[in-house]
Amino acid sequence: MTGFSALLAKEILEIRRTWKARVLLAVIAFAAATGPFIARYAPQIIGSTLGAELELSLPDPTWADSYVQWVKSLTQIIVFLVIILAALSLGSELRAGTVQGLATAPVDRSAIIVAKLVADAGLVAISLGAGTLIVAAETRLLFGTAPGGELIGGTLTWLCGALFLMSATMCASALTSTGPAIATGISLYLVVSLAGMWEPARRWSPAGALGAGNGEIPAIASCLLLAATCTAGAIRALDRRDI
């Protein structure tokens, strides 16, 4: 792919200069910092709100509840920010005419798509890494233990699902524009979430990686395969687009 290195450097520089990194890191850090406290003191919070009798009937929270709270933050908050990030990554430059200028330069259009996905996925991965460290540290502080395997495995599994959604959203952005791409990404996520109610879907589709299942290998593999397919579709759409 001609021009990939230069385009990747451009994307990284743009991430450093714009709101993307600051907002994503801030939201993930906030979710990671508050999740373990919510898990630890959930019985007291519920008891003060709904009555002491209900508090007494709740089991004592464990480190697993802290990890569940982290997954909830990923699937209920962070996922929508990731979809918006992917839609804006290409859509904003198409609207501003930046991609049109790149199309006249000696670079492959495929490199434009791949560079954006690699940079955005790297940003999400680094932000998730920081969030995972925060969750681990606070869970150990509040619960006395924080098994690393479950936390890291769950986060990496969700990252695979997020990569699928990012590539699908960017494909929609190459076909349409930013607004429809965001709507497509969110709609796709909702469909996948509903499919997670069906056990075979949790095992064999991205539903198993996006919070509805245990992240089995077939579900993770489906995410990566669909991400590659959507990336190829985005490249094809941008190549056919009259810019």
Residues 161-179 pLDDT 10s: 999 999 999 999 999 889 9
Phi then psi dihedrals of residue 143, to 5 deg:
-115, -5
Provide the b/e sequence for 56-79 (b: ≥16 CB within 10 Å). Answer: eeeeebebebbbbbbbebbbeebb
Task: Give the per-residue pLDDT at 126.
Answer: 96
Interatomic CA distance for residues 42 and 112, integer angstroms: 46
- Sorting pLDDT into bands at 50, 70 and 90, what band is 60? confident
Contact 169, 86 (CB under 8 A): yes
Kindly state the average pLDDT of the residues 60-65: 87
CA 172 to chain centre: 17
Interatomic CA distance for residues 12 and 200, integer angstroms: 39
Supply 217's token pair: 């290998």
Task: Give the per-residue pLDDT at 69.
Answer: 93
Is the per-residue pLDDT at 216 higher than 90? no
Task: Give the per-residue pLDDT at 50.
Answer: 56
Contact 236, 228 (CB under 8 A): no
217, with CB counted inside 10 A (0-12, 13-18, 19+), is exposed
Residues 6+ apart with CB under 8 A from 190: none
Structure pTM?
Answer: 0.89
Which tens digit of pLDDT belongs to each residue from 101-157?
A: 666 666 788 888 999 999 999 999 999 999 999 999 999 999 999 898 889 999 999
Interatomic CA distance for residues 135 and 142, integer angstroms: 10
